[in-house]
Chains A and B, each alone.
Chain A
Amino acid sequence: MDCSNSRYAHHPDVAWRLVQDEALLVDPRTGSIFPLNPVAARLWVLLGDTLPVSEIVRSLFQEFDSSRETIEADVSAFIANALAARLLVEQPGGSRSSGGESS
């Protein structure tokens, strides 16, 4: 599934804070606490800017020493988990199509 044009935003109920180059997320609805490593913290910040996923992948590829494929996979997994945990909400306007080629 291609979600490269999708945009997301932080769920407004989630409290979060950068702690040095990491991040700490707190979901008061569930009492869950999520520490994020530096890459996930940067991804979280970029998601909060409601950038399309393709731009987020491009930014992370430029900032971190990892392959584009790995970053794409990690970003997809993070978004899927964050949506499942209701930490993110999908923004209207982004297109999501099945079977498309990611940028």
Chain B
Amino acid sequence: MHLTVRSAARARLEEAGADRIGPGGPVWTVSARSFRLREIESGRRYEALVAPGAGLADLMRNWFSRVLLCSGGILLHAAAVIRNGRALLFSGPSGSGKSTLAKLAGSQTVLSDESVAVLPAFAGRGRPAPLVAHGTPFFGELAHAAANACAPIGAVFLIGPSRTPLGAGLCRVAPVSPARSAAELLAQTFLRTLSGDSAEALFPILEELAARTRVMRLEFAPEPGIWEGLDGLLE
């Protein structure tokens, strides 16, 4: 695969119109205010126009998101740790504690401290496919925290600053309704511009995540004992 990156004025990118997905012919496959990516030859050659100062990492996350979307998956702004054979996802905006949790993982496998791919696994005809979290090359503070591994999702935690004192425990969880779970997870995808088509494509996996996995709001103290605390809450 060959990717050509060219610099383009931001104004030109903003004039280029909305993103779309479509078969046949060159189409802009990823678009945002700071970049556009166009498929020149299916699966082989791509061209990106990037605004001065825009990050290539952002472009790659968006592109990766689009590719995953075509497979029914999403790239989620989340850290993930494999514990007891299950992936625990911690999703939230920058500064919410994803890297902090990854640093506390010790010898446990960290799929990423920043971006996790979520895809339905093949489970055979007529059987519900479990959702699986995969490590990605994208990382936050921890460059080594990007394991080439995957595990079925055990729980998804929406993380953020603690609003009230935690008391004696190291963590506290609260249930989140399915639609709010889907809404908050949608806000943590990397699709900067969300077309109607993109939203429709995202709905099935978001619905699956919200309905078939345990999604909870988590407040926590950044202490090594957090994992045992989570075990207790997940029992």
Contact = CB atoms under 8 A, between A and B. Distances in A.
B182 A28 contact: no
A26 B179 contact: no
B198 A20 contact: no
B182 A19 contact: yes
Contact of A26 (B177, B194, B210): B194
B152 to A, nearest CB: 21
Contact of A19 (B194, B196, B198, B207): B207
Contact size range, B? 20 to 34
A5 to B, nearest CB: 30
B19 to A, nearest CB: 10
Interface in B158-210: 177-183, 186-187, 193-196, 198-200, 203, 206-207, 210
Contact size range, A? 10 to 19
Nearest to A26: B199
A35 B194 contact: no
Contacts of A33: 183, 186-187
Given A15-B199, A33-B186, A36-B179, A24 B206 contact: yes
Contacts of B16: none
Contacts of B198: 28
Contacts of B5: none
B211 interface: yes
Contacts of A24: 179, 182-183, 186, 203, 206
A19 B178 contact: yes
Contacts of B207: 17, 19
Contacts of A31: 193-194
A88 to B, nearest CB: 16
Contacts of B210: 19-20
A40 to B, nearest CB: 9
A25 to B, nearest CB: 9
A47 interface: no
13 contacts: A17-B203, A19-B206, A20-B211, A22-B177, A22-B179, A22-B180, A24-B182, A24-B206, A26-B194, A28-B198, A33-B183, A35-B180, A37-B177
Interface of A: 13, 15, 17, 19-20, 22-24, 26, 28, 31, 33-37, 41
Interface of B: 177-183, 186-187, 193-196, 198-200, 203, 206-207, 210-211
